[in-house]
Chains A and B, each alone.
Chain A
Amino acid sequence: MKKKLLNKAEPYIWIAPSVILMSIFIIVPIFYVFKMSLSKITKAGLIKGFAGFSNFEAVLTSAKFALVLRNTVIWTILVVVLSTVLGFILALLLNNEFKGRKVARAIVVFPWATTLVIQASVWKFIIDTDYGALNTLLKSLGIINTNINWAPTPEAFFAWEIACGIFVTIPFVCFTALSGLQSIDSSLYEAATVDGANYWQKLFQITLPLVKPSLTVATVLNIIYVFNSFPIVWTITKGDPASRTDTLVTYLYKLAFYNGKQGEAAAVSVIGFLILLVCASVYMVSTLKKGDE
């Protein structure tokens, strides 16, 4: 009897350390964020009673929030979509047999392995108007004579941040797609060639459907990571001027740690989470539906 009980309890003992670790450092913070979003909070960060939805009201009615939300959506969609397309094309290239393929693969790893804050600093240096590397390069090659201002407006800066985001996300997509590509049985292509299929037919009717599971995983992870990405925008512009390059995460960081509005910052966190939750549910429902077919 005692042994039976122990057998039943055994799996829970095995997962206990992990559950405890995640509970304290992920679940409790989640609980705090939700609680704080509904609380009155002093400048010093002390919780002073229930505030209803006043934090949400303050966030949603502020003129900046709509702008920040729009930036976040543009940022997430452009980075995820473009890096997926470009990463997939790069994977198709690297899937060919050619000399130096190993070297090329090793080079593509670079942006994936480099910490974002350093990548962002380099790009900030490259696009600088007065002494940036891009102007120096173009002048040395004789393409331009005078320095070009690569980021004359906040929107231009934001576009560079998006470009930087794409640059660092491509390797992840590329390698997940590549592992999908390499698991495709080459006899499928041979059969298709015999049947007279051309390159594009093979690409859309064999390759894409078979790589789709890998790409879906990569895309879902990317949506979450890109949406929550902080270092690139923070390093290049800090979301300035006047939130015109802010995304949700940089905005909430400033609210919490610069402006002492922790309640509102928590509300922004909750809104961000809800948006991601909706996206994830849409994805899960659509994959479950496919499973039923």
Chain B
Amino acid sequence: MRLDSARINWGKLLTRILLYFTVVLVCVFILYPYFVMLCTALKSRAEIFSINGTIFPKEVLWSNFIDIWQKAPMSKYMMNSIIIAAGSTTIAMICGIPAAYALARMKFKGQTAFLGFIIVSQMFAPVVLLIGIYKVMMSFGLTNNLLGLILINAAFNQAFTIWLLRGTFISISAEMEQAATIDGCNRVQAMFRVLLPVAAPGIVTTLIFIFINAWNEYTVALCLISTDTIKPLTVGINIFNGYNIIEWQYLFASSIFAIVPVVILFMSIEKHLTAGLTAGGVKG
């Protein structure tokens, strides 16, 4: 191969150009909605609705990004999203780590049944069960309450938590923990001191994934939360998406605040996450 490289290989060059061309085209296509969002967030209302609209804003209005904090309880929405996402993640991990540990390290009756139950639970999206969820929340007095939303998110993310963590734990040899047990550690100590530090990358991936899921959740929050000040961003920003008037510039300005943190988080875990998802499936 290397000997040929002095001569230009036209076929290869053409595939190369075609490859770049397609990749650039795809990237432009994917970024287009985000580009539209940003340009629109910087326009005035009059400009958005004018007959001779332009792609870029004629006059860049950074003030839209400031106005939204006064036009809507944005800081409340932001805080609620953080509380919901952090709370759901914490509860999902507290319940999921021991369960994944038991599935990875112990043999017990009902193990397959438990795994099967986890898979079946994935078939019920919250939206299909909303009526039932609403009834449960009513009996606990948790409708229109952040804690209710946190618990629902934690429960519906259990399957992923356990699935991803079980895969991580299985891929780590149990020998070190056994050695620690011989040295006098009990199982809980062995898990905390030996397994969890080694499994940290897998745990962080899982953690971030659940955080993003809970941050992006829309349907259950839409249904359960009616008080404006306890809405998360995904539901709250629709204050600008009124029945008669849509304030696109504000809707998109606030959308950007909802998107940016999770996109950055997601980029950081993307590689680990996909490997974990499929590994769990193949080994399943």
Interface residues of A (CB under 8 A from B): 8, 10-12, 14-15, 17-22, 24-26, 28-33, 36, 45, 90, 93-94, 96, 98, 100, 103-119, 121-123, 125-126, 130-131, 133, 135-137, 139-140, 167, 175-176, 178-180, 213-214, 216-218, 221, 224-225, 228, 230-231, 234, 249, 252-253, 256-257, 262, 265-266, 269, 272-273, 276-277, 280
Other A-B pairs beyond A15-B114, A26-B129, 7, CB < 8 Å: A26-B124, A33-B132, A96-B19, A110-B263, A179-B277, A213-B281, A230-B218
Contact between chains at A176 and B274 (CB < 8 Å): yes
Does residue B91 face the partner (Cβ distance < 8 Å to A)? yes
Q: Which 7 A-B pairs have the closest CB atoms?
A: A29-B132, A228-B125, A217-B281, A32-B132, A25-B155, A113-B266, A14-B102
Contact between chains at B127 and A228 (CB < 8 Å): yes
Quote the shortest CB–CB distance from B29 to chain A (angstroms): 9
Could you tell me which residues of chain B, from 1 to 59, have a CB within 8 Å of some CB in chain A? 16, 19-20, 22-23, 26-27, 30-34, 36-37, 39-40, 48-50, 53-55
Contact between chains at B266 and A21 (CB < 8 Å): no
Secondary structure dominating the interface of B: helix
Q: Which of B19, B98, B270 contacts A14 (CB 8 A)?
A: B98
Secondary structure dominating the interface of A: helix
| CB pairs A–B below 8 angstroms (5 shown) | A105-B270, A116-B218, A133-B36, A221-B122, A249-B128
Contact between chains at B53 and A14 (CB < 8 Å): no
1/0 contact string of B250-261 vs chain A (CB within 8 Å): 011001001100
Known: A108-B30, A176-B278, A217-B277. Is A118-B234 also a contact (CB below 8 A)?
yes
Known: A15-B98, A98-B19, A262-B131. Is A113-B156 also a contact (CB below 8 A)?
no
Provide the residues of chain B in CB contact with A167, threshold 8 Å.
30
Known: A32-B135, A110-B31, A121-B255. Is A217-B278 also a contact (CB below 8 A)?
yes
Provide the residues of chain A in CB contact with B122, threshold 8 Å.
221, 224
Contact between chains at A11 and B108 (CB < 8 Å): yes
Contact between chains at B278 and A180 (CB < 8 Å): yes
**Assembled-state Cα–Cα distance A257/B98 (Å):** 38
| Chain B residue with Cβ nearest A12 | B108
Provide the residues of chain A in CB contact with B54, threshold 8 Å.
136, 140
Contact between chains at A126 and B278 (CB < 8 Å): no
Known: A18-B162, A26-B155. Is A113-B212 also a contact (CB below 8 A)?
yes
